[in-house]
A and B are shown apart, each in its own frame.
Chain A
Amino acid sequence: MTHPSGQRAAAARVGIDVGGTFTDFVLRTGGAAAAVHHKEPSTPHDPALAVARGLRTLLATARLDPADLADITHGTTIGLNAIIQRRGARIALAVTEGYRDILEIGRSRMPSSFDLHAAREEPLVPRDRVVEIPARLDHEGTPARVPDDAELARAAERLAATGADAAAVVVLHGHTDPAFEAALTGRLAALLPDLPLVSSAAVWPEVREYERTLVACLNAYIQPLMSRYFDRLEQLLGEIGVRAPVYIAASNGGSLSLAAARERPIETVLSGPAAGVTAATRLGAAAGTDRIITFDMGGTSSDIAVAVGGEPEFATRTTIGGLPLVLPVVAVGAIGAGGGSVVRVDEHGVLKVGPDSAGADPGPVSYGRGGSRPTVTDCYLATGVIGADTFLGGRMPLDAAAARSALDAVAAASGLDGRGAGTAAGDGAAAGDGAEAGNGAAARRAADGALRIATAGMAVELQKTLAQRGLDPAEFTLVPFGGAGPTHAALLAEEVGVADILVPAAAATFCAMGAADADLRRDLARSLRRPLDAEGAARLGEILAELAGQARAWLAGQGGDPVAEPAVTLAADMSYIGQAHEIRVPIAAEPGGPVPGADALAEAFHVEHERLYGFRDAGAPIRIGTARLAITAPRPTTPAPPVPPGSGPPAPLGERTLLLRGESVRAARYDRAALGAGATLSGPAIVEQTDTTVLVPPGWTAAVDPTGNLRLTRTRP
């Protein structure tokens, strides 16, 4: 493509997703030009290197000048990996006297109740780097103990002696008056000018001392590492002449400026999966679907998320590296196998899929990289769902014979080779196909069985996830992405009763796309924990106004050109007094305007309680727990260009025999790139693209929509 004029330059935006194996890139220029995709091998020792290298390649492919870029947004798992592997900074903790073991005790639960060898999670700060300070508030925010200068000097001395690179400061009930903890932190900082300090009430002023302490510690823990990465990234981008602002994708599905991410890196730790959900939600909205289930199937596992009405579901209690995180994040849950999940037979002859994964290295047997244990990907190959010569656009030839022989061993061990161990009953899976005997038939049966097990495993987890929210899968559209998502989507959909699947144009770089499209977003919270009466409602109003001020100040600091007014949403966590469980109640109020009175708030709570639990306790007193505010501001986006219509019915490339649920079928094979808008085809069919393969089983049709999505519809129940 040439540069027709200067006007298109301002619209070029790049999305990047830094993963463990690959760093993915998407570049969109707007107008009629198609998006440019690129995958660069990741460089874990210096992740910014892969970003810079890939960006250079991407720009060359798109024939763009670095100066043409409007902005770059990227998601990264660097912080998450540092937490999981406990490779963060050497940090210390200064905490109220009597609470030295706040991280040791945690919430006192063991990860498994029926394992005599269970170990608890490794604390982020070892006990010898925790220093007690005689400082505390009472539960109403009144200072109960303030250290004098001598006491503080002793604490500072002990903090210095820990040799830590950074420290978190936590005062019991600190959330009730963040200024108290800030003042204490300031006094300590004056004594310890070289030690970066993080005040828990400044980072996340929510009640529950353990969880708040963790947010502060996690932030301090990954900050040096993330700062070094950001520095290096800026340096390398500068070297290749990129001047565009850089945004970082956030765990809440939004994005934030590089400067904001430096200050609060903890907000970015789950950005990768969140960006995929953001992209899927956008895709669904554009395609007129407002209830979607995302299905991200990668090498090691499959993740799902739910979005209703264009808004992904959020969670305020997730687990990272064995530790609870209370920041609001897009709720992404693992449901089972990935392409690299290992297929095996246990000592009692029962076929199992996972939980072990061959990962990317050595990977599936058919990759020929030394893997000896068959995986789900090998099963796709053996059943004919993917082709040995056409996988990933033919860039990666697969060794079908090796996969077959590994699966033969599985068949023999489970009795699926028709020779003994197992007996044919149930739904007839082991009933052999005589014509194929001795011709890989046993391996195909084992592979088909393994895929059915994997599908059933995912299906039950998906059903549980939706059941918890009282949702029916049949009302949803599945949006699959990741290397194996589109391959497995229809199998999963049939099992859970989903009849509509929307396969995006690019599956493997979908998270990068989501990053590029993400709004600026910040979530804020502050606990009040007081009865819902006139005074409580007034206090809630004050706190929400304060939070709104902070949110607007934050937004002003993010740069960029907002394309619309920011949206502010308000909510409060409330409960009947005595109840342990709080529920989140949206508050209808104009941004900055007055908050509804106590009666209206109470009614909103009763209604929500009734919706969730089927009853209200009209006479019971109510407590306001935590005030919440989210601000989102859309950034300019470049919509995907329309796909040109095809001419005539699509022409198959050929045919392949598939074994699906015990049935042998002949499937037509298509090239996704050759399908124009409006093209339709019927299953059984295989649609191959450069980054994945789409399976269209019998009883489904597939049609290309005007933006290039492939929409699969079930025509036969």
Chain B
Amino acid sequence: MRLDPVTLEIIGNKLGALTEEMCLTLQRTSRSLYVKETADFACALAGPDGTFTAYPRGIGVSGFVGLEVRTAVEQAGPLSPGDVLITNDPYHSGGLATHLTDIQLIEPYFHDGEVIGYGWAFIHCSDIGGRVPSSLSPTNDEIYQEGLRIPPVRLVRAGERVPEVAALLAANSRTPDANEGDLRAMLAALRTGRERLAAVVAAHGADGVRAAHADLVEYSAGKATAALAGLRDGEYRFVDLLDDDAVSPVPVRISVTAHLEGGRLHLDFTGSDPQVAAAFNIASHAGSGRAHAWITTRVLALICTLDPEIPLNGGIIRPITVTAPEGSVVNATAPAAVGIRHATASRVNDALGGALGQAAREVLPAASSGLVVPVVVAEQRATGQNVQVLEPMVGGTGARYGADGVDGRDSGISNLSNNPVETVETEIGVRVLRYALRPDSGGPGRWRGGTGLELSFEVGSDDARLLARGLERLRFRPWGVAGGRSGAPAELVVNEGTPGERRLGKIDVLGLARGDVVTLRTSGAGGYGDPFDRPAEEVLADVRRGVVSVAAARRDYGVAVAVTAHGPAVDEAETGRLRTARPPADRSAEVGPERAAWDAIFDPAPVDRLVAALFRLPAARRHARRVAVYTAVLAALPAGFPAVAATPEEGAAARRVLAAELDRLVAETTDEAGAAGAAG
């Protein structure tokens, strides 16, 4: 450390507060929906090397603390006082931007002619052009469809707005006025940062501030290393699946192997699928070995859980290194579409939790519900289209050693507020019939997984449409651990219990008629530990609260609950009898029958070989080939697989198809590799 322990604490506090004040300025001056409603923005201060050295706590997006501005600054060339850079392109900003709607601004802060830090601000803007309004769609398959790509260029030069850049931006958005408001709010935030930093320099000297940048990062890196050193050293692998990629029914595989050694963590994503022809890719720039925000969110949360006092800055990710195959869904290359990268990040979170949980079984929870679904209804009005978010639907958090999961809330990816039904019903012609916890959805366990949510609404207008982007875990359930059971999968039903009932899978856009009743049930989170070890009185309490039914108490927990005149009570004798016949805690119970059935066909070893072979194909051919292989294998299985079980014969046939497809692919790619090698 360069500074004494008093000065470091004081400057650290001041720089942290400076970034929070930047956020407050941005919040106060912005008019953007994303700022006011979902807090999708952030500000920070970076040191001269581009690493964030101070980051706000409790305001704005927390997860971007590990990003850096260095690449963007280098791309733009030497900066002068009064310059402000703008960029939104993941591929030109070294992953600072993570999709095009996040507009990034960077201002160099000078003192005596030298850069003493960089101010950074971003806002998720309403629209940056592209194929669809709001720019984001899962079915975009190239970044060119997602809007205007802005490499790092000067938005402001020597204190003056650059008119050409302004004109270009305005011409490429459906909401130029709103975007201009966002830019003004960010510029105001950067000004606040500049003024406050000047005050800190005045009080502590430029050398004090330079030393603080370095010390703060070193301090957090030391604390993060100490936190990770508490975990058991070793190598831990976990594989999780996205239900599909929105453009095909084929799941997307996320594989991570965590190597822990003395407080250092290496994450190897080898075995994850090639990037997909949809907007689920993460442009993590992992080639540099850097631990990008969207593939390390869970680790960040783990470190902050183990050391809640750790100052938020780039030092937190110092002990982490990453290997992620170039061209994979977690390290996508241009022009892969990246708009909906948070859906993949949600599954990466689960995979990281599954791997790290093996190193710290009593710290990491089971899988959370793992989805964020903004339920959007669009209706036609005389004045035009009226589009509203009814509720951002999440599920619960996973159970962990010592505690049940949280019912119906999950801040794993973003910590969004819901909308009061009383305001929703004023804004749009729907009647919300039910907005509730979903009973019997939390994964049974010694500690129960959090329940999902249920939203049921009646449509009050003709020609309405439903959008439910981010709907996941319909097919593969959130997993339990240590004998804990999986949570219930998500469900989407129209007119449930009527002759016209429709059970739907993932939807892009669904047309609705007046009087239709839509019911969305989000997945429940995974349980922890054997449910037959859950004390009967805790099961009874859940039955009393109505989050576990009498039938489920008996089936899942071996607890017989009798409904008496004084309410539900445990039938001790019957419970004793039930609990002697404890069902085996096999993998199928932990991960759910669908995942077990899937893995019985798509065994990890051949799939690892399949993924490796796909990566030997030219990048442009991988996605189509992957879909073709899976489609061929699925053709040998019953429709509805894996929810519909395969017979042993069907299973054997499917495995034979997979082996044949794999052999063919391996042969081809070895030839190609050989040919390419010969040609090279």
Interface residues of chain A, those whose CB is within 8 Å of chain B, are 98-101, 104-110, 112-120, 126-128, 138-139, 144, 161, 172-173, 175, 207-211, 345-352, 414-416, 421-427, 429-430, 449-450, 452-453, 456-457, 460-461, 463-464, 467-468, 470, 529, 579-581, 612-615
Contacts and interface: CB of A to CB of B under 8 A. Distances in A.
Contacts of B567: 161
Contact of B14 (A101, A173, A346, A460): A460
B596 interface: no
Contacts of A449: 5-6
Interface in B1-55: 1-11, 13-14, 16-18, 20-21, 24-25, 28-29, 31, 33, 36-37
Interface string B398-414: 00100100111111001
A53 to B, nearest CB: 43
Interface stretch (B261-269, B302-310, B623-631): B302-310
B13 A456 contact: yes
A127 B546 contact: yes
Contact of B204 (A98, A126, A138, A426): A426
Contact of A612 (B21, B28, B414): B28
Contacts of B36: 579-581
Nearest to B12: A350
B432 interface: yes
A351 B17 contact: no
Contacts of A456: 9-10, 13-14
Contact of B305 (A115, A425, A450, A453): A115
B453 A105 contact: yes
Nearest to B61: A113
A463 B17 contact: yes
Interface in B372-428: 392, 394, 400, 403, 406-411, 414-418, 420-423, 425-426
Given A109-B411, A109-B415, A116-B302, A347 B5 contact: no
Contacts, number: 214
A693 B417 CA distance: 45
B88 to A, nearest CB: 24
A208 B415 contact: no
B299 to A, nearest CB: 11
B417 to A, nearest CB: 5
Contacts of B62: 113-114
B24 A468 contact: yes
B408 A613 contact: no
Interface string B75-88: 00000000000000
A416 B29 contact: no
B1 A349 contact: yes
B340 interface: no
Contacts of A581: 36
Interface stretch (B218-226, B252-260, B571-579): B218-226
A231 to B, nearest CB: 32
A100 B439 CA distance: 12
B363 interface: yes
A557 B456 CA distance: 46
B409 A108 contact: yes
A25 B443 CA distance: 56
Interface of B: 1-11, 13-14, 16-18, 20-21, 24-25, 28-29, 31, 33, 36-37, 62, 181, 184, 192, 204-205, 208, 211, 219, 222-223, 226, 300-302, 304-305, 308-309, 363-365, 392, 394, 400, 403, 406-411, 414-418, 420-423, 425-426, 431-437, 453, 456, 544-547, 567
Given A127-B547, A426-B4, A426-B7, A113 B415 contact: yes
A115 B1 CA distance: 28
A181 to B, nearest CB: 13
Nearest to A617: B31
Given A161-B567, A427-B7, A580 B37 contact: yes
Contacts of B11: 426
A468 B205 CA distance: 27
B436 A139 contact: no
28 contacts: A99-B435, A107-B417, A107-B418, A108-B416, A108-B417, A109-B409, A110-B410, A113-B62, A114-B300, A115-B304, A119-B406, A127-B546, A139-B426, A173-B425, A207-B422, A207-B423, A348-B219, A349-B5, A350-B9, A422-B1, A422-B5, A425-B2, A425-B208, A425-B211, A427-B205, A430-B4, A453-B10, A613-B31
Contact of B17 (A101, A109, A115, A460): A460
Given A173-B425, A209-B420, A427-B208, 5 more contacts: A105-B408, A109-B416, A115-B304, A139-B425, A425-B4
* 3 closest residue pairs by CB, A with B: A426-B7, A460-B17, A449-B6
Nearest to B16: A460
A190 B411 CA distance: 44
Nearest to B566: A161
B425 A98 contact: no
B5 A464 contact: no
Given A424-B4, A429-B4, A463-B17, A347 B226 contact: yes
Contacts of B437: 101, 104-105, 127
B6 A113 contact: no
Contact of A416 (B5, B418, B456): B5
B192 A426 contact: no
Contacts of A423: 1-2, 4
Contacts of A460: 13-14, 16-18
Nearest to B212: A426
Contacts of B456: 98
Contact of B425 (A127, A138, A424): A138
B28 A116 contact: no
A422 B219 CA distance: 13
A450 B4 CA distance: 12
A599 to B, nearest CB: 22
A208 B403 contact: no
Given A416-B6, A453-B6, A467-B25, A105 B435 contact: yes
Nearest to A451: B6
Given A108-B416, A115-B301, A350 B219 contact: yes
Contacts of B544: 128
Contacts of A346: 309
B420 A207 contact: yes
B185 to A, nearest CB: 9
Contacts of A425: 2-4, 7, 208, 211
Contacts of B37: 580
B546 to A, nearest CB: 6
B421 to A, nearest CB: 6
A594 B219 CA distance: 63
Contacts of B309: 346, 352
Contacts of B2: 423, 425
Given A114-B300, A425-B7, A98 B417 contact: no
Given A128-B545, A414-B5, A415-B4, A209 B421 contact: yes
Nearest to A161: B567
B41 to A, nearest CB: 14
A461 to B, nearest CB: 7
B28 A468 contact: yes
Given A98-B456, A115-B301, A351 B9 contact: yes
B308 to A, nearest CB: 7
A420 to B, nearest CB: 12
Contacts of B226: 347
Contact of A101 (B302, B417, B436): B436
B10 A613 contact: no
A348 B1 CA distance: 10
Contacts of A414: 5-6
B6 A351 contact: yes
B328 to A, nearest CB: 26
A108 B420 contact: no
Contacts of A453: 6, 9-10, 13
Contacts of B434: 98-99
Contacts of B416: 108-109
Contact of B8 (A106, A107, A175, A350): A350
